[in-house]
Amino acid sequence: MAKTPSGKNTSGRGQRDLKVKVKTARGRKLSSTRWLQRQLNDPYVKRAQAEGYRGRAAFKILELDEKFRFLVPGARVVDLGCAPGGWCQVAVKRVNALGEKSGKAVGSVLGIDLQEVEPIAGAEIHQLDFLEDDADEKVKTWLGGAADVVMSDMAAASSGHKQTDHLRIMMLCETAAHFAFDVLEDGGTFVAKVLAGGAEGDLQKLLKQNFTKVAHVKPPSSRSDSSEKFVVAMGYRGGRAAPEA
């Protein structure tokens, strides 16, 4: 039987359509009305509010970790472009950054972003451009060593042109991957958002040369009408690239 993100069964007969409908107000664009209506009816938005997450994106990293198990107690995690903070919130719980899991190793979570981010219990947040020349050294200093996980839900500002936006986010993802190469521990994991659109080949080749396992996944909480997917690269080779096939 089908279940919603809340775990409730929705397959019974006679249930009313409880969707919220939003009228287009004077001065508001139709696209804005559609976005608002989608938000009001999105079960992941409601669940995020109920569970105290800063956005529905938290469930994407939750679902990815359920599948691949990279956010383990004791892990040191870097969240690139961490605003508004949902991924950091998930990581804090999973790596036991607050030491709430008795008998488990205590991890650490470092979030960095261009903009100021509201504090998150258990996470260390810094306002930093990860493209700066010494950003990798700053991150390792703040972490107290190399990272076990580098994750990114970053997206380049939309231009409104699909192909341009695809190339921009792929370039951003490749740059994040190179940053990960500088800060990851041997055996570490890189997780990042990508967009389907035909320019993923170079990134996949790069990751396969530097990690033992690379997977592309669309988690259930990623909207079906979105072209986003996530790449999960595990087993960082520590700069020892695999031989060409």
Q: Which residues are tagged catalytic?
A: 193
* 86 annotated as ligand-binding: no
* 153 annotated as ligand-binding: yes
How far apart are the C-alpha atoms of 170 and 86, rounded to whole Å?
A: 22
* 129 annotated as ligand-binding: yes
* 85 annotated as ligand-binding: yes
Q: Would you say 87 and 122 are in contact if contact means Cβ atoms under 8 Å apart?
A: no
**Binding site membership: which residues?**
85, 87, 113, 129, 153
Q: Which residues are annotated as a binding site for S-adenosyl-L-methionine?
A: 85, 87, 113, 129, 153
